[in-house]
Structure formats: C-alpha cells, structure tokens
Amino acid sequence: MIQYIADAFTDKLFAGNPAAVLPCREMPASELMHAIAIENNYSETAFVVKRGKGEYDLKWFTPGGEVDLCGHATLATSFVLHQFIDPDVEEMRFHTLSGDLIVRPGADGLTMDFPLGSYKEIPVTEDILEATGGLAKEAYYEDGDMITVIESEEALAALIPDFAAMCRIEGRGLIITAKSKEYDFVSRCFYPKLDVPEDPVTGSAHTYLTPLWAGKLGKTEMVARQVSPRGGTLRVRLEGQRVFITGNAVLFMKGEIPFDL
C-alpha cells in the first residue's frame, strides 16, 4: 500500500500544511483509518477510493477522529491523483460527508469548489476573550468553527495560544483573523479539541473567512495568508453560495505501508 505525503497551499517543501494521502481499493474500516491517522500524527490523513473516471469517495481523519470537511487534505489528494494516478482527468468529483466537492487542475494551481460555511454574529464573551488573549473584537458562530476578528495582523502573529481556554468555547475549532497590509486578510486556526493544536493552513476555515471578508472589503476575489509558523497562501473567490479556493502542493515523500488496504 502506497502512502503519499504532500505539502498543501505552498509551492515549496517544508511550508504549507502536510497531509497524508492513501489511495485505497475500498474504504477501510473507520477504526483502521483512525489508527493510521494517529500513527501518522499529521493534522489530516485522507483516504480516497476511485469510483470511476474523475469520481472518488473521500474521507478525512485527524488524530482525534473523522471530520466532515478538510481543505488542505482535499488539495493534497487532488495533487496526488493528478500527478500519479489520473493525470488526464480535467475535473475531480469527491463524494464526502460535506456533499460533492469538485476540484479542477489549472495553470495557477488546483481550484476547490466548496460550500459556504454557516455563521452568525454573536456577543464576545469573557470565554472568547480569554481564548483569544483578550484580542477579539467580533465573534461569529453557528456550527462548525468559531470565528473571531481582531485589530491587527501583528497581534495575530504574536499571539501565544491558550489551548485550555480554546477548549472551553463553542465550536470545533477557533479561527482568529485580521485585515492585512500585504494580503487581503490573514488568519490562524486552532483545533485542540481534535488533537491539532494549531493547523498550519486550513482550507475549510476559508469557507467562513471568504464570505466574512468579502462583506467587509467589498471584494469577491482575495488573497489570504495563514500566518502559522509554516505559513501558506490561498487565493479565494466567492460566487453565490460557493467558495472557490486555489492553491498549489508539492510532494514530500511516498512510502509503502506493509499491509494491503
């Protein structure tokens, strides 16, 4: 069984967000997929099964368990399929817990077609302030991730996360974002509840951030930067109820797992 490791949302090694990708003949049992994700200890391990030309089943596991949507592991999976398995496919359709996701290779990278994340503005509570180091000015949440807006990208880059406080607020994870001088907006994303303290680059977070910043900036096409220590760049576009996220990926390694999946 071949496992690929790819760095997503980057065009150079040792940046962006690494993900493991395992093409399988059939989807393994959930317990086995979770065990492999724990063993890999990446923020995401993706399992993909080919249904037919350009049609795939896709699941994502963190060390903490299965998740409904993951952008960087979808990008890494698309990269692996395009480079090593189905190089002639012009459109990849993935059947996932979040519905069908479409990815199209292009000259500027791989473009993912995702549904909007749902959110609504909520009061900034003491728990939210504690989880953001006292920086939160706005907060948004409905289901999925908690989103908070702070005043400056410098403060965001300097933030020392309090993971215990982050675990006390609502949401699968915590997204902290700010307007940027070089980019349109920047963010950092934390998922301690899923055993992923800080995710280097998070595609799914931009299903919330894209419509939020489109409303604030009056733009539907933007360049975003996740300012984690590894860092990554995403080009995002809002069209109706869909978010299009474009990025690149590079192969770090491929290796053999000594049993069949």
Q: Which residues are catalytic?
A: 44
- Report d(CA 38, CA 20) in Å as an integer: 11
The two tokens of residue 98 are 């979040």
What does the CA dihedral 211, 201, 99, 78 come to, rounded to 10 degrees?
A: 120
- Report d(CA 120, CA 219) in Å as an integer: 20
User: How far is residue 174 from each of residues 134, 145, 241, measured CA to CA in Å?
Assistant: 14, 6, 22
Contact 47, 178 (CB under 8 A): no
Contact 238, 111 (CB under 8 A): no
Residue type, 96: T
CA-based radius of gyration for the chain: 18
- What is the pairing mode between strands 109-115 and 242-247? antiparallel
Query: E strands of 129-211, at which residues?
Result: 138-140, 146-149, 174-179, 185-191, 196-199
